[in-house]
């Protein structure tokens, strides 16, 4: 299980990746992160929801209400600005990998 201080700085990117594949909502995003990471990372609920709030406040996602089986859901959609930010983060990631690799002994 990966510790949070290492993922920190990529929670937003993970979420943006998922919503860039199609609109989604908190609970589902949470499960998808667990799946995509092969159970190596589980994002805590509070971390996820506060990240969603932050991302919306920053204009990277927008929300709308939906209903499913009598339960309310808040769906999120990525914005153009969110897509640009996501692409930047992907490039930054490639650089980060190279940099940290220099400090790692194989």
Partner DNA sequence: TATAATACCACGACTGACGTAGTATGTCAA
Partner DNA sequence: TTGACATACTACGTCAGTCGTGGTATTATA
61: contact with DNA by CB under 7 A:
no
- Among candidate residues 87, 66, 91, 70, the one with its CA nearest the CA of residue 78: 87
Backbone angles phi, psi at 86, to 5 degrees: -60, -45
Backbone angles phi, psi at 37, to 5 degrees: -90, 10
Element (H, E) at 11: helix 11-20
- DSSP string for 65-93: EEEETTEEEEEEEE-HHHHHHHHHHHHHH
5: contact with DNA by CB under 7 A:
yes
Q: Applying CB under 7 A, which of residues 38, 39, 40, 71 lies at the interface with DNA?
A: 71
Nearer to a second copy (CB atom), residue 6 or residue 59: 6
Q: Applying CB under 8 A, which of residues 30, 37, 47, 61 lies at the interface with a second copy?
A: 37
Nearer to DNA (CB atom), residue 72 or residue 106: 72
100: contact with a second copy by CB under 8 A:
yes
Residue numbers of the site for DNA (CB under 7 A)?
3-5, 7-9, 11, 25-28, 31, 43-47, 49-52, 54, 68-74
């Amino acid at each position: 299980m990966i510790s949070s201080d290492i993922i920190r700085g990529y929670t937003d990117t993970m979420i943006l990746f998922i919503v860039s594949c199609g609109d989604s909502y908190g609970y589902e995003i949470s499960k998808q992160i667990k799946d995509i990471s092969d159970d190596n990372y589980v994002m805590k609920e509070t971390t996820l929801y506060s990240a969603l709030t932050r991302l919306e406040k920053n204009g990277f996602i927008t929300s709308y209400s939906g209903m499913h089986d009598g339960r309310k859901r808040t769906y999120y959609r990525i914005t153009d600005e969110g897509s640009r930010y996501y692409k930047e983060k992907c490039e930054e990631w490639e650089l980060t990998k190279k940099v940290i690799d220099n400090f790692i002994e194989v």
